[in-house]
Amino acid sequence: MNIAAVLSERAREMGAAPAICQRTQLSFSELESAVARFAGLLWEQGARPGDAALIICPMSPALYTALIGCFRAGMIAIFLDPSAGREHIEQCLELMPPRVFIGSPKAHLLRFVSPALRKIPRKIVLGKNLGGTARPLPIESATPSQAAMITFTSGSTGQPKAVARTHAFLLAQHAVLARALVLTPGQCDLTALPIFVLANLASGVTSILPDADLRKPGAIEPEPVLQQIERWKITSAVGSPAFFERLLEPGENMPSLQKIFTGGAPVFPGLLDRLAERSPHAAITAVYGSTEAEPIAEIERREIHPADVERMRNGEGLLTGFPVREIACQVLQNEIVVSGDHVLKGYLHGRGDEETKFAMDGRIWHRTGDLGKFDEHGRLWLLGRVSARIEDALGTLYPFTVECAVSMFPSVRRSAVLSVNGARLLALDADTIPKGLPEALSWASISRLQLCRIPVDRRHNAKVDYPALRKMFQSS
């Protein structure tokens, strides 16, 4: 079944109820009409089922009109990160050459620097009147295994891998998210993570898109978003840890929030506690997952006991909770592996499968690249990336376990551990080294502490960019 049919059915049920709101408001029926006309525009432009369309547009009503319009037309929507640079764009589009380029006026300026973008035969500039006067297009049929959306991730080689989500995959992901996030029609949700808007639309939930530049969630201006929460009396919110860290900075309360979900990067207990102080009525949940499997596990703040915090403080890693019931999760040779309907079975053209996919017990499993363990209760603990593990004369050290312990010191904004010239170095993004920190980390045998600004990933502004950090210390 085409996922557009599910979204269309929900739109008919919700009618005039608001679907997506940012600076303007779009009802479910208005979104359905705009989607049908945009799909018609794609047809008039010569696009056909099975064609790929590259979409470059910030989170906005226009983005979801274009995306669902592609679904409706039986096309494959492609997303990439233009901030990763021209080489990344060229590599991604070589894997899956699109027939259509859909983007904001600013996005189309990238054609001046990218030969691959200039080669795309058809271009559509997203404006205020999406679809214009195009004749509405009926929903094209789609098989469960038909690709609906492609995004890109990098493997250990640094070469992009194409993550192809089928219609069946998106429907399975919606089902698990709808249950895990307790999505109910009429709910008003502040949504800062793109994929969650689709789950909201399929559940009849109003998505309030943050009035912020989400390309850098760790640098947003919090006041406009806080005003949205107050104006709309928003009851739930979804975003990355960096996004919520920014919302907490002004010190304002968010009393209307009943549910908060945060993930996309490690969620430490300190953030959960600070969110609880500002939103005392909210159930606050940390979600663990990856591009290929979202979600994997989750834990609500009130399920984390003082003994669990002490274990995290003493180097046992980060507690992520029980795996969601829709997924099979094991730890093989210390690595977390998963399988399920919302777990990617393979990459486009099989490129990258040899790194992360294997068959076992008659099913395909995905290697997350994360080290982990189960405790005596069956809860999953995260130990960090396989590639980050340190083996030296002192034994084995999982840097992430140190970073988790350091997060217990409120004055430290971020930390990172790496081996430099055979010595264990702890980098601290802080004004001063907190009193008692060296003694608290005696179990880690850290040789050197260094205050510095720690580089992070572009997408969530929360994951440490270890290659860049290592380069900093090797050049110093």
CATH of the domain at 61: 3.40.50.980
Q: How far is CA 87 from CA 94, 146, 387, 455, in A?
A: 11, 28, 24, 21
> For the chain, what is the mean pLDDT?
94
Token pair, residue 391, equals: 């083996």
Give me the number of domains the chain comprises. 3
**pLDDT beyond 60 at 156:** no
∠ Cα 272 278 283 (to 5°)? 50
Q: At residue 171, does pLDDT exceed 70?
A: yes
Q: Angle 372-81-417 (CA atoms, 0-180°, nearest 5)?
A: 35
Is there a domain that residue 153 lies in?
no
Work out the burial of residue 115: count CB atoms within 10 Å of its CB; fewer than 13 is exposed, 13-18 middle, 19 or more buried. Answer: exposed
Mean pLDDT of the 254-263 span: 97
Is pLDDT of 231 > 80?
A: yes
pLDDT tops 70 at residue 157: no
Q: Does 76 lie in the same domain as 202?
A: no
Q: Tell me: do 8 and 136 sit in the same domain.
A: yes
For residue 155, pLDDT beyond 60: no
Same domain, 12 and 121: yes
User: Is the pLDDT confidence value at 357 over 60?
Assistant: yes
pLDDT number for residue 251:
94
Residue 151 lies in a domain: no
pLDDT single digits (tens) 319-333: 999 999 999 999 999
Average pLDDT over residues 235-248: 96
348 inside domain: no
Q: Which of 229, 254, 281 is the last residue of a domain?
A: 281
Q: Identify the three-state secondary structure at position 30.
A: helix
Residues 137, 241 within the same domain: no
Q: Do residue 18 and residue 120 come from a single domain?
A: yes
CATH number at residue 447: 3.30.300.30
Residues 116, 190 within the same domain: no
Question: Which tokens sit at 48?
Answer: 């056909």
Do residues 355 and 155 make contact, with C-beta atoms less than 8 angstroms apart? yes
Specify the higher pLDDT residue, 154 or 50: 50
Residue span of the structural domain in which 398 resides: 393-475
List % helix, strand, coil for the chain (3-state, nearest 5): 35, 30, 35
Tens digit of each residue's pLDDT (9 = 90 or more) over 4-47: 999 999 999 999 999 999 988 999 999 999 999 999 999 999 99
Burial class (CB in 10 A: 0-12, 13-18, 19+), 223: middle
Tell whether 122 and 200 lie within a shared domain: no
Between residues 462 and 276, the one the model is more confident about = 276
Each residue of 428-462: pLDDT tens digit?
999 999 999 999 999 999 999 999 999 987 766 66
Q: What is the pLDDT of residue 257?
A: 97
CA distance 398 to 235: 38
Same domain, 137 and 252: no
